[in-house]
Amino acid sequence: VRRPLVLGIETSCDDTGCAVVDGAGRVLSDVVHSQLQVHLDHGGIIPPIARDLHAQNIGAAAERALRDAGVSLAELDAVAVTVRPGLSLSLLVGLRHARLLARQASLPLIPVHHMRAHALTVRMAAPEVAFPFLTLLISGGHCLLAVAQAPDRFLLLGASRDDAPGEALDKAARRLKLRNLPECATLAGGRAVELLAARGDPHAFEFPLPLSQYRDCSFSFAGLKFTAQKLAASEEQRHDVVASGVIPTAADLCASLQHAVARHLCHRTQRAMDYCQARGLLPDGARRLVVSGGVACNGYITACLRRVGEALGFEVYVPPPRLCTDNGVMIAWKGVELLRVGRGGTRDLDSVDIEAR
Ligand code: KG4
Ligand code: ZN
């Protein structure tokens, strides 16, 4: 193992993640306790329920992360924990536990920004992704384009004015009752949409291209979400399906929505690439785009982004799916990156607080 050795704790949303990562980017342990099934049963995340589940699981998850890694608390160099953005009730559970562990072993505590952690994960396995690089972060709660300039310095180019792409996909999956299909019963909404879309026609239904008249890097997914709901309702009527039934055109609708999401993401990413070029924000010889966040698990969307990259001379990097969704590894790695530039960690444990969005 190479120093620093960091325990990462992630509880910003619905996954309790704890992991130990070393200075060479080796993952010594990776424990994720997912609340997905509970939230699918409730039709969405209910914050107090998420908090209670984090509280139930965090102790065991952290213990197992240390045990799997074969290190004791005292052997660590720091504890890193997500403090923003996220659900405040959930964030607090992680922070309190991180503080407890840091206090027990007199370790520094490193507050971590969840979205920035998503952006840096790729450097664990691909150290050639040097700063600065362009990053597109797409998840269930966020959508943004930024230039990562240093582990703790990001230049925001644009973000969503309303919903995130994962939110649009999750809502569509729920509206289409994809859970009633056995192959989709246990999947995240976006994954279910991807699975169905694979056997549908992406041009079957027409979706508008959001913000087509704006020449900036912001996003909007509320219109796509709304169009999907409207189309689902009219298809239901047209096919006269029973209450629990899935409409026969669900695959076409999923494919068309997924295509529309991909198109919008590509459109804005292309703008960001042009902007970076015009402003000289990225080095000429090394133009790179890093895509991460849960929606980056989507093969159709990343294939489209890769084509845009190819056309504009950008190399496109996407971490493996396991590292795109929420986990403790990315938080631990962000801690390593911050320690390396001398920006990580405080021993004044009570000075660290959450900053919920
Ligand atoms: O990053 P993440 O795990 O949590 C947040 O920070 O939000 O992202 C979760 C989101 C959910 O909306 C989920 O439906 C979506 O990522 N997602 C996908 C896929 N797998 C997960 N979206 C599209 N295609 C997938 N294969
Ligand atoms: Zn995330």
Cβ–ligand 1 contact at 327 (below 6 Å):
no
CATH classification number, 133-318, choose in 3.30.9.10, 3.40.50.11810, 3.30.420.40, 3.40.630.30: 3.30.420.40
Cβ–ligand 1 distance for 184 under 6 Å, the answer no
How far, in Å, from the CA of 144 to the mean position of ligand 1? 14
* 6-121+323-351 and 133-318 in the same fold: yes
201-223: pLDDT as tens digits:
999 999 999 999 998 999 999 99
Q: How is residue 123 annotated by DSSP?
A: H
Cα 322 from chain centre: 11
Q: ipTM score of the complex?
A: 0.99
pLDDT confidence of residue 286:
87
Q: Which of 34, 169, 194 to mutate to test the pocket of ligand 1 (most atoms within 8 A of CB)?
A: 169
CA distance to 18, 237, 251, 321, 329, per residue, from 336 (Å): 15, 54, 43, 21, 11
Q: What pLDDT shows up at residue 65?
A: 98
Any alpha helices (H) in the chain, and if so which ranges?
Answer: 36-42, 47-69, 88-105, 114-120, 122-125, 165-175, 189-197, 222-239, 250-279, 299-312, 321-324, 328-340
Element (DSSP H or E) covering residue 133: strand 133-138
Centre of ligand 1 from the C-alpha of residue 310, in Å:
25
Domains of the chain, by residue range, sit at: 6-121+323-351, 133-318
In tens, the pLDDT along 298-356 reads 999 999 999 999 999 999 999 999 999 999 999 999 999 999 999 889 999 999 999 87
Ligand 1 contact, 202 CB (< 6 A)? no
Token pair 């912001």 is found at 218
Fold topology of 6-121+323-351 = Nucleotidyltransferase; domain 5 (3.30.420)
Which stretches of the chain score pLDDT less than 70? 357
The confidence score (pLDDT) of residue 343 equals 87
Distance (Å, rounded) from C-alpha 141 to C-alpha 84? Answer: 12
pTM of the model: 0.97
**Kind of pairing, strands 315-317 and 288-292?**
parallel
Question: What is the per-residue pLDDT for 324?
Answer: 97
